[in-house]
Amino acid sequence: MNTHTLIDGKAAAARVLVQVRKDVDRLREQAIQPALAVILVGGDPASQVYVRNKILRAEEVGIRSVEHRLTTDTSTEQLLNLIASLNADRSIHGILLQLPLPAHIDELRALQAIDPDKDVDGFHSENVGGLSQGRAVLAPCTPSGCLYLLEQTCGDLRGKHAVVIGRSNIVGKPMAALLLQADCSVTVLHSRSPNPQALCRQADIVIAAVGRPRLIDASWLKPGAVVIDVGINRIDDDGRSRLVGDVDFDSALTQVAAITPVPGGVGPMTIAFLMKNTVTAALNQHQAQRSQSEAVCHSIY
């Protein structure tokens, strides 16, 4: 029988959050209270759950959270005004704009309006560009969490062939950039890739970020592959609603060396890395303010 490791995202996220808590305590000793502003526009039920979980987790690690709930009919201009005021507020270190936004709002304009230093989701083009140049930036939370799980599971990733299935701006593309930085050879598959199974079967590491329930079964996987399933899909299973990933978990188990479950795999890592990014943003902003005031002192004397 094939032996495999179940990659425990809850336990890994808990380890990340212990470190975040220590970092928050150190910042508080310097009279810096890390703070995250969360903006939710409209009443999308899934978004409300995500926002509630993010705020709860922030409280647990000592990050101050400020929630801004806007009605569905909020205009792009009104949202931009709120973002501008949060950008200017020195007591706020991270700004999270919960997606998706109502269709009438210009999502790109709103994301680009967030100060890149406070862009804890890593979606601003300055952070996206920095990531593709290999600079240290606020990187998107879900791919950062996946990379952490891979490093914990595989150790050295250098030279491994990673196949990323999906090329979204939120998951697939930044995931590919992070894996390249980790010296993997990276293949990115999408809906126009011919014969994706054959390409995927060559992978040491598979990241599935497709949004198609159980698309990837054993026939896509080489024996001993490590699989990270980003997908979260709600399905009706004999009249019972439940969450499944993009990977057919039971089928994949016959091939893999290690795999994340859904739920309990990547999901908890996303929130943990949001907290980590908020603390990083607070530290960066504090250091930038300190060097600014030192520069002013030098120019005076």
- 252 near ligand NAP, judged by CB under 6 A: no
- 140 near ligand NAP, judged by CB under 6 A: no
Q: Residue from 40, 147, 210, 279 that binds ligand NAP (CB under 6 A)? A: 210
**Sign of the Cα pseudo-torsion (113, 79, 66, 72, in order):** negative
Q: Choose one: 31-39, 51-59, 85-93, 264-272; the region binding ligand NAP (CB under 6 A).
A: 264-272
Alpha-helical (H) ranges within the chain are 9-29, 45-61, 76-88, 107-113, 125-132, 141-154, 172-181, 196-200, 249-252, 266-300
- On whether the CB atoms of residues 150 and 228 are closer than 8 A, the answer is yes
Instruction: Say how many residues touch ligand NAP, by CB under 6 A.
Output: 26
Query: Nearest to residue 283, comparing CAs of 61, 91, 114, 32?
Result: 32
Of 80 and 218, CB closest to ligand NAP: 218
What backbone phi and psi angles, to 5 degrees, belong to 96? -115, 120
Of 49 and 84, CB closest to ligand NAP: 49
228: which strand partners? 207
- 47 near ligand NAP, judged by CB under 6 A: no
Q: Residue from 47, 48, 211, 283 that binds ligand NAP (CB under 6 A)? A: 211
- 270 near ligand NAP, judged by CB under 6 A: yes
Active site residue 156: no
Of 27 and 252, CB closest to ligand NAP: 252
Q: How far is the CB of 84 from ligand NAP (least distance, A)?
A: 27
Among 121, 204, 229, 246, the active-site one is 121
Query: Nearest to residue 121, comparing CAs of 24, 51, 182, 179?
Result: 51
Q: Residue from 24, 231, 278, 282 that binds ligand NAP (CB under 6 A)? A: 231
- 189 near ligand NAP, judged by CB under 6 A: yes
Element (H, E) at 35: strand 35-41
Q: How far is the CB of 289 from ligand NAP (least distance, A)?
A: 32
Query: What is the contact mask toward ligand NAP in residues 148 to 187, using x (rule: CB under 6 A)?
Result: -----------------xxxx-xxx---------------
Residue linked to tokens 């809906």:
191
Active site residue 285: no
Extract long-range pairs of 10-16: CB within 8 Å, 24+ residues apart. Answer: 10/264, 10/268, 12/148, 12/149, 12/152, 12/268, 12/269, 12/272, 13/145, 13/268, 13/269, 13/271, 13/272, 14/268, 14/272, 16/148, 16/269, 16/272, 16/273, 16/275, 16/276
Active site residue 54: yes
Q: Choose one: 41-49, 113-121, 204-212, 284-292; the region binding ligand NAP (CB under 6 A).
A: 204-212
Q: Residue from 158, 192, 240, 298 that binds ligand NAP (CB under 6 A)? A: 192
| 3-class secondary-structure state, position 67 | strand
* Secondary structure letter of residue 101 according to DSSP: P
Q: Which residues are catalytic?
A: 54, 98, 121
Q: Summarize as ranges the residues that interact with ligand NAP (CB under 6 A).
A: 142, 165-168, 170-172, 189-193, 196, 209-212, 215, 230-233, 266-267, 270
